[in-house]
Amino acid sequence: TLAQLGIDLPATPDEALTGKALQTLDRQLQGRAIEDLLHLPAMSDLQAKLTMKLLADVCAPIFIAMPGLYPIISSTMVGLSLQFGNTLLSALGYVNHGGILTAFFGDVEKGYLFGKLALTLADRSNSQEYKGRISFLFGTWIQHRRELLRELIPIQKYAYIACMEAGVFNASYSISCYFDANLLCGLELNTWASEISSYSKDLERVKQYSAQAYLEMKQQVALNL
């Protein structure tokens, strides 16, 4: 479907195509401050909107199954926003691209700016789903590279609550990251272990067994210590 809309993703990761996609985006960004992208006009082109939706839908499976394609996905989403304007899904493209820049290419400064741009754009909406998803991705990929580790605790807790209320259960991993930050920041273990139990029950109730398994590993760490 993406190919029919003019987006040709390679069947396997390709460093040359990844480099080309990033270079194309750099040319589009030339002379523009990342913060100024907040003021792009609203996206109105229907084909661009559909393309953004499809790219957003494939982000998670691509990240799990073929992460080498992830930079192409993120740079394509940012490029479409530069060309056609912002939509709420642009925030997802910005935060993913920020994560790519920090984690894959070591460009913490630019990646952090893209992450903050995504948070600001998401805050302009009334969508709990996207506020939660963007907060989760920012806190997981980017925030700890520039801010104190304890700053992750409130943003991951917010991401979990917002996404659960919106019925977006794939962000249930945010509560696992919340406990990682708590452990590394020195939360008392008896408090930590009992709090995990209630969240584990919540995840079981909505059948998020994978996220629950990660959470129970944290609980076992606390019990062992």
Side-chain half-sphere exposure of 107, counting CA atoms within 13 A: 12
Percent residues over pLDDT 90 in the chain? 65
Residues in CB range of 194: below 8 A, 6 or more apart:
none
For 48-88, the pLDDT digits (tens) are 999 999 999 998 889 889 988 999 999 999 999 999 999 99
For 103-127, the pLDDT digits (tens) are 888 999 999 999 999 999 999 988 9
For 25-59, the pLDDT digits (tens) are 999 999 899 999 999 999 999 999 999 999 999 98
State how far the Cα of 21 lies from the Cα of 79, in Å rounded to an integer.
9
Judge contact between 23 and 75, C-beta under 8 A. no
Work out the widest C-alpha separation in the chain, in whole angstroms. 55
State how far the Cα of 69 lies from the Cα of 86, in Å rounded to an integer.
23
